[in-house]
Amino acid sequence: MPQELKHPQPRSDRRKRMGGQIQREIMQLILDRGLRPGAVLPTETELMDDLGVSRNSVREALKALQALDIVEIRHGYGTYVGEASLTPLADGLTFRTLVQLGGDDAHALTEILQVREILEEGLVSRVVKSIPEEDLDELDAIVARMMTRAGQGEVFPEEDREFHEVLYRSIGNTLVPQLLGAFWNVFHRVAGARGWAKDPSPTGTARRHKEIVAALRARDRERVQAAMTTHFRGIEARAGKAMRGVG
């Protein structure tokens, strides 16, 4: 019964703040202060005072921003401006693909592969004339490692990832490897979550990568395009077989 005035702020001031408003205020605070990725953010207590909201509200907003990789929270230490990477994209696409597969539509993964193929076809066309010899040497070394592993019946996801990263390094676009990496992550996480079999023919996969490098060395755009298309036909075959086996 005694509930006198327990409100530190008059009611009229502290309502109508819902709907991601606090998140946007924190983002604006970062922009206004010119904070860069890695910079330290005000503590939760300071944000409470600055924004005039409770600690729970601040924490919920920070959690949302953390999910977008806009802030980075370290327990017992502080909160920092994040890199705004494409991790959220990978998370969202993975979830979406699994949810749609859970129904009976195995189309989502094919769509992601198609986008990745379009991207990579356009990318190789742009590097075929300009990729430096040293990058080609590095690609040869990666393919050699692939061959070795394939000869032992092993699979080589790390080399595969590295291959495509080096392949487009000379573009000088930081968004490209992140985007491709996100797609790559989705594919492998979905494959893992559904318990799909590994690459049934590592040797063939390694050979297709080798052909891409050879075509690049020849500076032959047509041949590079064809090699890349063949490479994706191999991936689709794996995915298609697995999806048919499950669905």
Given the rule CB under 8 A, which residues bind a second copy?
A: 18, 23, 27, 30-31, 34-37, 56, 59-61, 63-70, 75, 81, 83-86, 88-89, 91-93, 95-96, 98-99, 102-103, 108, 111-112, 114-115, 118-119, 121-123, 126, 171, 173-176, 179
CA–CA distance from 119 to each of 4, 74, 112, 116, 129 (Å)?
64, 35, 11, 5, 17
Least spacing, CB of residue 144 vs a second copy, in Å? 29
Q: Work out what residue 91 binds among a second copy, DNA, none; the CB cut-off runs from 5 to 8 Å by kind.
A: a second copy
Q: Which does 157 bind (CB under 5 to 8 A by kind): a second copy, DNA, none?
A: none
Alpha helix ranges (H) inside 128-201: 133-151, 157-167, 175-193
CA distance 94 to 91: 5
Q: Please name the amino acid found at residue 82.
A: G
Q: What is the DSSP string of 46-114?
A: HHHHHHT--HHHHHHHHHHHHHTTSEEEETTTEEEE----SHHHHHHHHHHHHHHHHHT-THHHHHHHH
94 torsion bin: left (phi>0), alpha (psi -120 to 50), beta (else): alpha
Contact code string over 49-88 relative to DNA, x by CB under 7 A: ---xxxxxx-xx-x----------xxxxxxx---------
Q: How far is the CB of 75 from DNA (least distance, A)?
A: 4
- Partner whose binding site includes residue 78, from DNA, a second copy, none (CB under 5 to 8 Å by kind): DNA
Task: Indicate the residue among 42 and 202 with the shorter CB distance to DNA.
Answer: 42
Binding site for DNA (CB under 7 A): 3, 6-9, 11, 14-15, 17-18, 41, 43-45, 52-57, 59-60, 62, 73-79
